[in-house]
């Protein structure tokens, strides 16, 4: 983990951008691919690195196809992930709601306790209100 990974709503994280190919994404990370318990299964459409699932548009039974493009990023407790210049781990549900509204977004709060900015971002929280999961 050598670079700061700023989350860009509906664009990507750090230098990784939606629509990149698997080869382009792999050049960004100087770390091994790894499966972590939170990642779940059936991930042949993704590249997995600590705290990130990077999903692609096309895959075979083993991995994303070389011609596929990045179309979904899941961030879970990645220490170098930042949202609005603040580490993801420092946001709470209330503080991120205030921040999103102050920036002109219209966040939604579905019954499951998440926060969503449709077509841009979704977030999940621990029982204590701390942000632990971000999807773009």
pLDDT of residue 75: 98
Prediction pTM value: 0.93
**What would the mean pLDDT of 34-43 be, rounded to a whole number?**
94
pLDDT of residue 2: 60
H helix intervals, the chain: 22-26, 93-102
101-111: pLDDT as tens digits: 999 999 999 99
CA nearest to 107, candidates 80, 128, 125, 126:
125
- Please state the φ and ψ torsions of residue 49, each to the nearest 5 degrees: -130, 165
**What would the mean pLDDT of 57-63 be, rounded to a whole number?**
95
Token pair recorded at residue 68: 């596929």
Is-contact 136 9, C-beta < 8 A?
Answer: yes
pLDDT of residue 130: 96
Domain boundaries, the chain: 5-81, 85-135
Is-contact 103 84, C-beta < 8 A?
Answer: yes
d(CA 105, CA 102): 7
């Amino acid at each position: 983990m050598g670079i700061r990974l700023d989350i860009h709503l509906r664009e990507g994280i750090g230098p990784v951008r939606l629509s990149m190919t698997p080869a382009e994404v792999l050049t960004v990370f100087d770390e091994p691919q790894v499966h972590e318990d939170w990642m779940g299964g059936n991930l042949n459409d993704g590249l997995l690195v600590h705290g990130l699932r990077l999903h692609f548009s096309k895959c075979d039974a083993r991995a994303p196809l070389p011609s596929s493009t990045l179309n979904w990023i899941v961030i879970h407790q990645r220490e170098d992930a930042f949202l609005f210049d603040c580490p993801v781990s420092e946001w709470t549900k209330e503080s991120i709601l205030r921040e999103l509204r102050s920036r002109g977004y219209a966040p939604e709060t579905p019954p499951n306790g998440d926060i969503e900015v449709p077509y841009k971002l979704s977030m999940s929280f621990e029982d204590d209100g701390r942000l632990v999961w971000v999807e773009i």
